[in-house]
Chain A
Amino acid sequence: MQKKDIGLGILIIVVGAIVYMRNPLFLSPINLGNTANLIGLFGLFAIGQGFVIMTGGIDLSVGSVIALLGVLFVDMVGKFGVPWPLAVAIIIGLGVLIGLAHGILITRFRLQPFVVTLCGLLIYRGIARGYTAESTAGFPFGSSYPQLEWLTIGRSFGVPHSFVAMLIVAAVMWVVLHHTVFGRHLCAVGKNEEAARFSGINTRFVTVMAYVICAVLASIAAIYFAMFTKSVQPSSHGNFYELYAIAAAVLGGCSLRGGEGSVIGIVLGAVLLQELQNLVNLLGIPSSLNFAVMGAVILLGVLADQQFAAYRTRKNTERALGLLQKP
């Protein structure tokens, strides 16, 4: 665990303690379960976003991907009777294709990630709305898919399975980032692409893979969201979700300049965001102020982090000078 992660964890506990003192419902099993479910849903794709950000890129299309793939998933399973395991496989396959498209446009055609994924945001949302002709996609009345529902919206001992799924993904991605060659190369590419290339790293492959990971996790999240909301409204489903993901990643210590970040940090970032949403509800703050609270806390968090980093650098310099002055 990095120092940053510990700081974020402490912040989560402090905020939680304050909310609990003002409203003990915060720690009620129902509230905890619901919040955990949201953390799971948002955490899933925030992790993917974090990987892209670590390469120095950004993926703005996440929310639209969740809407488009959500619509397709609901229609496949509900309308066309595609067996759900096959539908899941198709959706994830589409995620791979979207990620490949982003990655290749960015690496081969040298377009900027912001531009490519901004276009993605518009295109996928547009397709979702055009395909459904603006009508809400939903499962037929009375239909039921017990196994799929168990996997997505089920609970074990009160723990929502979306949260479990997110933990599993986080564990896998933690290993990938910190313990695989790919993970090391990802950090190298994000820090200094030129030097990484001169170290014999296939920087294009690494970058493309980051976008594939991001889109695949978004496609899995799309299935979870579709099952959670039961119906998908193509013009509003998933709106602004990419920004939640970016916020979680930044709170979790990812630098938009690339090269820095941790999976634990991103998950904690997602936890803090949902805790803040919950805080707004429980403390009776008008929900219209939701975004304002979130923005203010992120700003303060990033500001504090910057100050700590500057402090650490100063300490290091002093240490180095101290070594020099010794005879």
Chain B
Amino acid sequence: MSAVHGLDLRLEGVTKVYPGVVALNYVSLQIKAGEVVGLLGENGAGKSTLMKILGGLIAPTSGKIILDGQRYDAFDVKQSQQAGIAFVHQELNVFDNMDVSANIFLGRELVRGPLRLTDRKAMNKMAEPLIERVGAPFKPDTPVSTLSLAECQLLEIAKALSMNARLVIMDEPTSSLTLSETNMLLKVIADLKAQGIAVIYISHRLSEVEECVDRAVVLRDGHNVGVLERQAVTHDAMIRMMIGRELKALYTPPSVPATKPVLSVKSFTIKGKPDRTASFDVMAGEILGVAGLIGAGRTDLAEAIFGVGDKLGGDILIDGKQTEINSPADAIAAGLYLVPEDRKLAGLILEFPTLENVTMANLPAYTSRGLVSQKRQIAVAESQRSALSIKTHDVRRAANEMSGGNQQKVVLAKWLSMDPKVIIFDEPTRGIDVGAKAEIYGLMRSLADRGVGVMMISSDMEEVIGVSDRIVVMKDGLITGELPRFRFSESNVLNLAVGKVLEEA
């Protein structure tokens, strides 16, 4: 193997402004050959923006990148590759219709002879030491379709090494790995370090970070909140730095205390985590916050409850009665509604008029003698418009002409025009401006006060703590804990989200 020459990379004062959002605010980072730097932060703290800048996918608004003493205002993809920066993504980019060595050399195939045919023998031969370096059990000619997820990760690392990577950036590499696979990956990281390769390790799993990094850089709301040196990298120190912002008062208490469960979920199994089950209750009249880090399985859980996809196991009780839910139609019939995470994909038909979107789920109610009465549709849409103060002057206009907040209200109007018992909100205020957020919170509270069980999945800590009456925290398909209102705190939620057990208060 050719010796890679040492890396010295510094980011200074890097700022990235999107319309309306400052994603990164004067962030600095430094990494040298043979160092492992952990990059930490809550969802939305700016980690991925920073990585995209290093990968050359986006250019910073201001600030500089200094690589081996040379200064750049921005990187492009090519410069980043030439600098030896390689990514191992959370979502894998392997081609499962090819073998291992074809994946490693994709886009840089070795050729031989005047016909420039691919030289498989040479590629296999060159792949072998790379595979050995990452300690993978497969061979160059193993079809990728037979590899496990962990093996695909190793393949991606081998690919990075083949490009003479000097810096490997791993984004949540262990989020779908088992414990033994994770340990194997940590060993590979130690090997890379010994070989003089730098690693940026992004993970929500603090114990792994604690184990493998030389230094941890913490981001919060796009700011650099600090650097922890090796001996200072501890669970508590990391969590303390990741949180630590004043929460605005959002909370309005329920008018009547919640008493009986309207939805009980018993030993529910979700996609991708067949050996884990989740059980919890949603009370009539309460807002239950569901917290957890991205990838904890919250959306999968919500979709499974709503009957999307195959049911894997578990029971649902509505008002104490066992209810079979095998499809969204069953869920809707039982009064269980979902306001999905991706509003534009699953919540609305954007090109359809507001009135169609509002009445879509319950069209038979608007028919007379088999024909849909637009008059009745308009009447209901109009009443929802004034009840939710949806800002459109004509309910016959398409939903895509509205702002995100108003679109979200249309999704809500669809369910409110029927008779909800439980509404699951999945990231209800993502991409919505502050004013509309407050309105949505108000609507949730008034729903709860009408006796509806409201379950709110949110990755926004301020929202979870500020709006919920009770919080359950999920990690890897398991409910790791439940917090009553008086125990709400960012550190409690975050500790549960990373799988730490809380001391009893």
- Report A's interface with B, CB cutoff 8 A: 175, 179-181, 183-185, 187-188, 190-192, 195-196, 198-201, 259-260, 316, 319-320, 323-324
Q: Assuming A188-B106, A192-B93, is B98 touching A181 (CB within 8 A)?
A: no
Q: Are A260 and B107 in contact, CB atoms less than 8 angstroms apart?
A: no
Q: Which residues of A contact B178 (CB under 8 A)?
A: 324
Q: Interface 1/0s, chain B 28-55, versus A by CB < 8 A?
A: 0000000000000000000000000000
Residue of A nearest to B109 (CB): A181
Residue of B nearest to A323 (CB): B148
* New A-B pairs, 10, CB < 8 Å, besides A184-B102, A187-B98: A179-B118, A180-B117, A181-B116, A184-B98, A184-B106, A184-B109, A199-B107, A259-B95, A316-B146, A324-B178
A-B contact pairs, 17 of them (CB 8 A): A179-B117, A180-B115, A180-B118, A181-B109, A181-B118, A184-B98, A185-B106, A187-B97, A188-B95, A188-B106, A192-B93, A259-B97, A260-B97, A316-B146, A319-B146, A320-B148, A323-B148
* B394 contacts A by Cβ under 8 Å: no
Q: Are B93 and A198 in contact, CB atoms less than 8 angstroms apart?
A: yes
Q: Which residues of B contact A184 (CB under 8 A)?
A: 98, 102, 106, 109, 118
Distance between B503 CB and nearest chain A CB, rounded to angstroms: 34
A309–B120 CA distance with the chains assembled, in angstroms? 27
Q: Interface 1/0s, chain B 102-142, versus A by CB < 8 A?
A: 10001111010001111010000000000000000000000
Main secondary structure of the interface of B (DSSP, over half): loop
Q: Interface 1/0s, chain B 77-102, versus A by CB < 8 A?
A: 00001000000000001011110001
A324–B151 CA distance with the chains assembled, in angstroms? 13
Distance between A206 CB and nearest chain B CB, rounded to angstroms: 11
Q: Which residues of B contact A187 (CB under 8 A)?
A: 95, 97-98
Interface size class on chain B is 20 to 34
**The 9 nearest A-B residue pairs measured at CB:** A200-B107, A199-B107, A195-B93, A181-B109, A179-B117, A259-B97, A199-B106, A191-B97, A191-B95
Distance between B171 CB and nearest chain A CB, rounded to angstroms: 14
Q: Are A200 and B93 in contact, CB atoms less than 8 angstroms apart?
A: no
Residue of A nearest to B151 (CB): A320
Q: Which residues of B contact A188 (CB under 8 A)?
A: 95, 98, 106
A177–B401 CA distance with the chains assembled, in angstroms? 47
- Report B's interface with A, CB cutoff 8 A: 81, 93, 95-98, 102, 106-109, 111, 115-118, 120, 145-146, 148, 178
Q: Which residues of A contact B95 (CB under 8 A)?
A: 187-188, 191-192, 195-196, 259
A199–B108 CA distance with the chains assembled, in angstroms? 9
Distance between B397 CB and nearest chain A CB, rounded to angstroms: 27
Q: Are B106 and A201 in contact, CB atoms less than 8 angstroms apart?
A: yes
Distance between A184 CB and nearest chain B CB, rounded to angstroms: 6
Q: Which residues of B contact A320 (CB under 8 A)?
A: 148
A53–B81 CA distance with the chains assembled, in angstroms? 32
Q: Which residues of A contact B109 (CB under 8 A)?
A: 181, 184
Q: Which residues of A contact B96 (CB under 8 A)?
A: 191
Q: Are B107 and A201 in contact, CB atoms less than 8 angstroms apart?
A: yes
Which of B107, B117, B120, B146 interacts with A175 by CB under 8 Å? B117
Distance between B449 CB and nearest chain A CB, rounded to angstroms: 46
Residue of A nearest to B106 (CB): A199
A259–B95 CA distance with the chains assembled, in angstroms? 9
Residue of B nearest to A188 (CB): B95
A12–B120 CA distance with the chains assembled, in angstroms? 32
Q: Which residues of A contact B116 (CB under 8 A)?
A: 180-181
Residue of B nearest to A181 (CB): B109
Distance between A258 CB and nearest chain B CB, rounded to angstroms: 9
A32–B117 CA distance with the chains assembled, in angstroms? 35
Q: Which residues of A contact B148 (CB under 8 A)?
A: 320, 323
Most A Cβ at <10 Å: residue of B81, B97, B146: B97
Distance between B93 CB and nearest chain A CB, rounded to angstroms: 4
A320–B118 CA distance with the chains assembled, in angstroms? 31
Residue of A nearest to B55 (CB): A198
A199–B148 CA distance with the chains assembled, in angstroms? 22
Q: Which residues of B contact A185 (CB under 8 A)?
A: 106-107
Most A Cβ at <10 Å: residue of B93, B95, B111, B118: B95
Residue of A nearest to B92 (CB): A195
Residue of B nearest to A202 (CB): B107
Q: Which residues of A contact B97 (CB under 8 A)?
A: 187, 190-191, 259-260
Which of B81, B93, B111, B145 interacts with A181 by CB under 8 Å? B111
Q: Which residues of A contact B118 (CB under 8 A)?
A: 179-181, 183-184
A305–B141 CA distance with the chains assembled, in angstroms? 24
Residue of A nearest to B87 (CB): A198
A196–B120 CA distance with the chains assembled, in angstroms? 20
Distance between A51 CB and nearest chain B CB, rounded to angstroms: 15
Distance between B423 CB and nearest chain A CB, rounded to angstroms: 35
Q: Which residues of A contact B146 (CB under 8 A)?
A: 316, 319
